[in-house]
Amino acid sequence: MSRSNVVDDSASLPGRLPDLPRFRPAGLRVTWFLGALVVLVLVVVAGVAFGPVSLPPGAVAAELVNRVFGTDLDTGLTSQQAAIVWKLRLPRVLLALLVGAMLALAGGCYQGVFRNPLADPMLLGVASGAGLGATAFIVARAHGLPLSTQLLPIAAFVGALAALGATYLLGAAGGRRQGTVTLILAGVAVSTFLTAVQTYVQQRNVDTIASVYSWLLGRLTVASWAEVRMLLPYVVFTAILVLLRRRELDVLSVGDTEASALGLHPKRSRLILLLAASLGTAAAVSVSGLIGFVGVVVPHIVRLLAGRSYRSILPLSLLAGASFLILADLIARTVSAPAELPIGVVTAFIGAPFFVLVMRTTKESAP
């Protein structure tokens, strides 16, 4: 920690640790934020333009500008090409944007709360819990229960909370000295158990196994404006809540005792952040299925490039996660066109080697 990030604040804390430093990390750099935003815009245009039927990127950009800003630029697109943009490509790209942004933001939030660079919705069992909740919801609807599709994220959220609680309780059983290691192992155990339960539910309901199986591998093939509208409120709520409280993660990084002395309530802050991140993860999983490694890869890359302050990590992870998943989806639908790869397979090919690298780096840097 540099001296510029530490300021003596003992005068404002009478009777409490007179030499306690106050953690003041550097803020978000405008250049990083603008750079990530420009990359996202370019990736969105590429995602809409390229596919089994390629469209001129310039024409696609003009079409988007016309619709967003009300201009009248000459795009040169036919009515059929314009329909491809607005009815097929753009909903899918926007859904990938929302899901990627949410998974990356949640991953960064989990890493800050647990102070572990390997913490991730998939590793902590949250995604598996959300998957089980969503699977149970899909099966219940298939059996005739009058459930609205708008309740699907809520069902996934309940499963995510149950999984998170189980992981936390199982990890706490390992003792405080083994907290971070035990937490990851507990998450793997909970995730494996919930996956087994989910497999049992599927086999008991073979009539829905095809749709659930494709959902498990992660998919955006059924993306429409309805899914975008359903997911958007959850993403906006979660993003606002987490980003407004991102400075608390920097304070938590110095330890609970110091954070309490600085006026923060560590348990309350962790609970709020975990609930918000779990809600966002559950909503994303409910529409896209299980897409792994986004929450590990993106925040870690951002941390390497832009520093360790969560004031920078979280907003940049939001933008970078959106770009990452749009590109992954573009690869999924073009690499073997006209067939499509499950997007979860693409993120696994990218994320698994990176996860191994993170583990090796973490081990080598450990005392």
- Give the mean pLDDT per block of 10 residues along the chain (367 residues): 41 39 59 94 96 91 92 91 93 96 95 84 84 86 82 86 87 61 82 88 73 67 86 95 94 85 87 90 85 90 90 95 96 86 87 75 52
Q: Report how far residue 347's alpha carbon sits from residue 327's, in angstroms, rounded to the nearest whole number.
A: 10
Q: Report how far residue 39's alpha carbon sits from residue 52's, in angstroms, rounded to the nearest whole number.
A: 23
Contact between 137 and 152 (Cβ < 8 Å): yes
Residue-level pLDDT at 299: 93
Residue-level pLDDT at 7: 39
Q: Compute how many other C-beta atoms are within 10 angstroms of the C-beta atom of residue 64.
A: 19
Residue-level pLDDT at 188: 87
Q: Report how far residue 240's alpha carbon sits from residue 223's, in angstroms, rounded to the nearest whole number.
A: 24
Q: Report how far residue 268's alpha carbon sits from residue 318's, in angstroms, rounded to the nearest whole number.
A: 24
Q: Compute how many other C-beta atoms are within 10 angstroms of the C-beta atom of residue 291.
A: 31
Residue-level pLDDT at 238: 96
Say which DSSP state 18 is in. T
For 311, the 3-state DSSP assignment is helix
Burial classification of residue 179, based on how many CB atoms lie within 10 Å of its CB (0-12 exposed, 13-18 middle, 19 or more buried) = middle
Assign domain 27-365 to its CATH architecture: Orthogonal Bundle (1.10)
Residue-level pLDDT at 353: 83
Q: Report how far residue 186's alpha carbon sits from residue 333's, in angstroms, rounded to the nearest whole number.
A: 35
Cα torsion 75, 81, 87, 93 to 10°: value is -70
Q: What are residue 22's DSSP bridge partners?
A: 7
Integer angstrom CA distances of residue 191 from 9, 28, 129, 201: 43, 34, 7, 15
Cα torsion 341, 346, 352, 357 to 10°: value is 160
- Whole-model pTM? 0.84
Checking 17-24 for CB contacts under 8 A at 24+ apart, the result is 17/258, 17/261, 20/258, 20/261, 20/262, 21/254, 22/262, 23/250, 23/251, 23/253, 23/254, 23/258, 23/262
Q: Report how far residue 43's alpha carbon sits from residue 45's, in angstroms, rounded to the nearest whole number.
A: 5
Q: Do you know the residue count of the chain?
A: 367
Where do the domains of the chain lie?
A: 27-365
Q: Report how far residue 309's alpha carbon sits from residue 30's, in angstroms, rounded to the nearest whole number.
A: 14
Residue with tokens 């989990």: 110
